[in-house]
Amino acid sequence: MSELAMEPLVRNAWYLAAWAHELDDGPIARKIMGEDLVLFRGGDGKAAALEDRCCHRGVKLSLGSIVETGLQCGYHGMVFDGGGACVGNPGERLNPSHRVNAFPAAERQKMIWVWTGDPETADESRIVDFPYPDLEGEWNFLYGRYEIAANYMFMIDNLMDLTHLGYVHLSTIGGHPDEQNIAELDTVRTERGAKYVRWMMNSTPPPAFVKAGGFDGPVDRWGEFEYVAPGTVLQWAGAHDAGTGGREDRNKPGGLVFRLLHQATPADEDSYHYFFASAVRGEPLDGAPNIAFHEANREAFLEDKLFIEAQQEAVSKAPERKLILREHDKAVAYSRQAIHRLQSTDVKQAAE
């Protein structure tokens, strides 16, 4: 079986646009789905997303500042509320034609989500549910973002087939290639994508696990990954000392248990924002295992960036050529099928 490498964008969907704390110091500029946006939290505390272009003289609104009634343009002082309406026009009367494009936005679970499609179809119940950042007694997340010069689905492919770990991430989160290649794998389709559980019994812990978990012998290691189309992968993973019942009870005390959220939000068809957040169970925000594991992930994701951007460069020279799928790629195939379903829905809605 083969697939075309690069996927068109799905516009009618929610995309992670920023971590909530990024808006604490004022507006930020970010390109999402080909749109230059300004993200901010107004005086009312609500997150908002507008086009990053003042309707007056076309200056970037991200150069402005937050005032009680909204976002004030830094050039001539016009103020826009979260819906894009001009609510402040210094020295002149308000004019209802003075407005900028607005995009539905929602803040939840320490994330800012934006909808770039038809606003009439922006159903907030479709936002990915990841409650753990709100459970600070048990999970204290560290956050990151990289800009990757590649089609967003290359990241989904990367996360839904972990046989690359032993080659790309040998010195960080990977482990021995032979052990990776014979991992037990159970893969299923889901309503919105794909999910797999992967076990490596009596395996060698990778350097990141040794440093964060203190292992000095073999471990029973698992990874549970769920793709939620179009751009989210949820990860629950960890390891326990081999033969101590970790497979029967992954939540048992001890070992190394962690959660990650991965998000590929397209900037455009050839680049995306890679958002990632990680937390080690029970560790304080500044706990040594939490920090060590996050830093190992940051290094590993830069290793991925090198390969994914090289992939983009090669594939772009002949995008019509198809890629093959191996037996290990069942979750990749299910994920591609899920994005194709969303693309079909996008086209259908556009035609109505």
pLDDT string in tens for the chain (352-residue length) = 346 789 999 999 999 999 999 999 999 999 999 999 999 999 899 999 999 999 999 999 999 999 999 999 999 999 999 999 999 999 999 999 999 999 999 999 999 999 999 999 999 999 999 999 999 989 999 999 999 999 999 999 999 999 999 999 988 999 888 988 899 999 999 999 999 999 999 999 999 999 999 999 999 999 999 999 999 999 999 999 999 999 999 999 999 999 999 999 999 999 999 999 999 999 999 999 999 999 999 999 999 999 999 999 999 999 999 999 999 999 999 999 999 999 998 866 766 6
Instruction: Identify the pLDDT of residue 345.
Output: 84
3-state secondary structure of 229: coil
Instruction: Identify the pLDDT of residue 346.
Output: 83
Residues 263, 219, single domain; the answer is: yes
The pair phi, psi for residue 332, each rounded to 5°, is -65, -45
Rounded to whole angstroms, how far apart are CA atoms 291 and 286?
A: 6
The pair phi, psi for residue 75, each rounded to 5°, is -90, -55
Rounded to whole angstroms, how far apart are CA atoms 289 and 187?
A: 30
Q: Where are the alpha helices (DSSP H) in 61-185?
A: 153-160, 165-168, 177-181
Instruction: Identify the pLDDT of residue 199.
Output: 97
Instruction: Identify the pLDDT of residue 228.
Output: 98
Which CATH number covers residue 142? 3.90.380.10
Residues 227, 122, single domain; the answer is: no
Residues 75, 181, single domain; the answer is: no
Instruction: Identify the pLDDT of residue 2.
Output: 46
Contact indicator for 116, 50 with CB cutoff of 8 Å: no
Which CATH number covers residue 108? 2.102.10.10
**Per-residue b or e along 302-321, where b marks 16 or more CB atoms closer than 10 Å to that residue's CB:** ebbbeebeebbeebeeeeee
Residues 187, 227, single domain; the answer is: yes
Reduced 3-state DSSP string for 169-223: CCCCCCCCHHHHHCCEEEEEEECCEEEEEEEEEEECCCHHHHHHHCCCCCEEEEE
Angle between helices 153-160 and 330-351 (to 10 degrees): 150
**Residue matched to tokens 């606003």:** 119
Residue range(s) defining the domain that contains residue 57: 2-126
Residues 109, 213, single domain; the answer is: no
User: How many distinct structural domains can be found in the chain?
Assistant: 2
Residues 12, 26, single domain; the answer is: yes
